[in-house]
Amino acid sequence: MMKLYNLISESNDSNVTYTELTPVDRKLLQFMYDKGISQNTDKLIYKFLKDTLAIDDLETQVRLINLYMLNAPSARKHKRGFLDMDKVVELDTTASNDYIKVLSEFKGIPETFVVEVYKGDIRDYYNTYLPEYRIFDVARGGYETYQIARDYDEAWNAAQTRVYDIIQSEGYDALNQEWLMDYVQPDEREIELYVREGTEERVRDYDEDELREELFGYNSEEWNEYEGAEDDTKLYKEEIKKLSLEIQEKEFKKDNVESELIVLEKDIERLDYYSDDETNYRDMEYSEEIEELQSTYNNYKRIFDELETYLEESYRELDKLQTNLEESKTLLEKYSGESLIEMYIEEVTANRTEEFVDDIDSFLDYGSMEISEAYEYGYIDIDKDKVMEGAVSDDGLGHWLAGYDGYENEETITQEDGNYSDTFYLFRNN
């Protein structure tokens, strides 16, 4: 609770008047002073007046409380305290205005029990500070302080001002963080840079299997491509080995057949040398042998030609397999070494950035940051105007202006013609 002395000290100079102390006032005030009653605790003063001094008259209680709290500091300057003081400061409670009237009607108390604490500063938007008035609550024997708005717009602007002041002094941490998330806008570029930097720092700590596993988790097509390349590489190696052995065998067989053909050719040539077309000597003596040799030669030549054809096709197939193997190896190299690291950084950065932009909560968890930190570093933006508007709209005027109970109270002034004024809005704040 704000102390009465401070309230009075902060009041308009026009509300301050001077009064002469009666001998009774002097004695009563000095008695409280001698008992060490603090001028800063109105409840204790009220209790002392009521219980110790047996003063039950409400107006007398209020008057003595005001006099004591306002003038006790000055009494310390005098040798005999209040006994040496004739003229003292008194709060003039006779002046009335609409705020006093509406609070008087709202509480059902005399206007003299309502005192201006702060005149207010009414401006547009979030620069509005409502007038503040203190009343003496007869029922509980204590003071209450209220802020008063002449209309809903004033109250709304004052509530936004309260939110604005909290943000300025305490930051966004003072607001409900889950609620605040609705007003957070990610900065995609800054988030991407943050993710990339972190990914580049961590990537060297992973082995290639770990990198590939995480990488393929983002893109199943890449996983299929890599697995296919692994299977193809194994298969091509096996087929190349098998075909190479077959070619080796066929080449060996071809060489043997070729050697046989050379021998047959020479034998045929030797026998054919002795043949005489005119006398048909060949037909008579060597024809049968030559035919047998020629038949054998033809068989070997057929085998030789088949081997050559097979080898030509096999070499073409071998070339194709080797080309395919190199392509598979190249694809595997794509997912290995520096190429894998670069691909991992790009893929992870792109996917996590997209994830974090869509779900800023996950980004905050990733960076172990509060909203205020992310805002300070520029990873997110917060529309302050929308935050203030949303806070007042969602929580209500009373939540921000009525610090005591959170209630928004409405009251009107009964005018001389019997009609009522426009609605005032009152908020208890002590």
Residue-wise pLDDT tens digits, 258-304: 999 999 888 888 876 655 555 454 455 667 888 888 899 999 999 99
* Stretch(es) of the chain classified as CATH 1.10.287: 208-348
For all residues of the chain together, what is the average pLDDT?
A: 87
- What pLDDT, on a 0 to 100 scale, did the predictor assign at position 321? 93
Q: Which residue has the higher pLDDT, 230 or 110?
A: 230
- What pLDDT, on a 0 to 100 scale, did the predictor assign at position 250? 93
Average pLDDT on 212-235 reads: 87
Query: Quick check: 93 pLDDT over 80?
Result: no
Convert the chain into a string of H (helix), E (strand) and C (coil): CCCHHHHHHCCCHHHEEEEECCHHHHHHHHHHHHCCCCCCCHHHHHHHHHHHCCCCCHHHHHHHHHHHHHHHHHHCCCCCHHHHCCEEEEECCCCCCHHHHHHHHHHCCCHHHEEEEECCECCCCCCCECCEEEEEECCCCEEEEEEEECCHHHHHHHHHHHHHHHHHHHCHHHCCHHHHHHHEEECHHHHHHHHHHHHHHHHHHCCHHHHHHHHHHHCHHHHHHHHHHHHHHHHHHHHHHHHHHHHHHHHHHHHHHHHHHHHHHHHHHHHHHCCCCCCCHHHHHCHHHHHHHHHHHHHHHHHHHHHHHHHHHHHHHHHHHHHHHHHHHHHHHHCCHHHHHHHHHHHHHHHHHHHHHHCHHHHHHHHCCCHHHHHHCCCEEECHHHHHHHHHHHHCHHHHHCCCCCCCEEECCECCCCCECCCEEEEECC
**Which alpha helices (DSSP H) does 13-151 contain, by range?**
23-34, 42-47, 58-75, 98-107
- What pLDDT, on a 0 to 100 scale, did the predictor assign at position 279? 47
In tens, the pLDDT along 98-148 reads: 999 999 889 988 787 788 899 999 988 889 999 999 987 766 767 899 999
User: In terms of Cα–Cα distance, which of 374, 334, 52, 328 is closest to 191?
Assistant: 374
Average pLDDT on 380-384 reads: 95
Pair of tokens at residue 288:
């049968």
With cut-offs at 50, 70 and 90, classify the pLDDT of residue 2: very low
Q: Which residue has the higher pLDDT, 138 or 333?
A: 333
Pair of tokens at residue 115:
């005192």
| CATH 3.40.1350 for the 208-348 domain, yes or no | no
With cut-offs at 50, 70 and 90, classify the pLDDT of residue 92: low
Average pLDDT on 165-190 reads: 94
User: In terms of Cα–Cα distance, which of 41, 9, 38, 25 is closest to 82?
Assistant: 25
User: In terms of Cα–Cα distance, which of 73, 77, 66 is closest to 19?
Assistant: 66
- What pLDDT, on a 0 to 100 scale, did the predictor assign at position 135? 87
Cα gap 182→268, rounded to integer Å: 101
- What pLDDT, on a 0 to 100 scale, did the predictor assign at position 159? 97
In tens, the pLDDT along 26-78 reads: 999 999 999 998 887 767 888 888 889 998 887 788 788 888 888 999 999 99
Query: Quick check: 84 pLDDT over 80?
Result: yes
Predicted structure pTM score: 0.61
In this structure, of 12-16, 153-157, 326-330, 347-351, the range with the lowest mean pLDDT score is 12-16
Cα gap 403→218, rounded to integer Å: 51
Query: Quick check: 8 pLDDT over 50?
Result: no
- What pLDDT, on a 0 to 100 scale, did the predictor assign at position 277? 55
Average pLDDT on 384-406 reads: 96
Give backbone dihedrals phi and psi of 160, rounded to 5 degrees, phi first: -65, -35
Cα gap 197→176, rounded to integer Å: 30
User: In terms of Cα–Cα distance, which of 127, 93, 80, 103 is closest to 19?
Assistant: 93
Q: What are the counts of helices (DSSP H) followed by strands (DSSP E) for the chain?
A: 17, 9
Which SS3 state, helix, strand or coil, does residue 256 take?
helix
User: What is each CA distance from 46 to 32, 133, 228, 298, in whole angstroms?
Assistant: 11, 19, 90, 138
Query: Quick check: 405 pLDDT over 70?
Result: yes
Which residues does 364 contact at the CB level (< 8 Å), separation at least 6? 370, 371, 374
- What pLDDT, on a 0 to 100 scale, did the predictor assign at position 69? 83
* 41, 142 Cβ separation under 8 angstroms: no
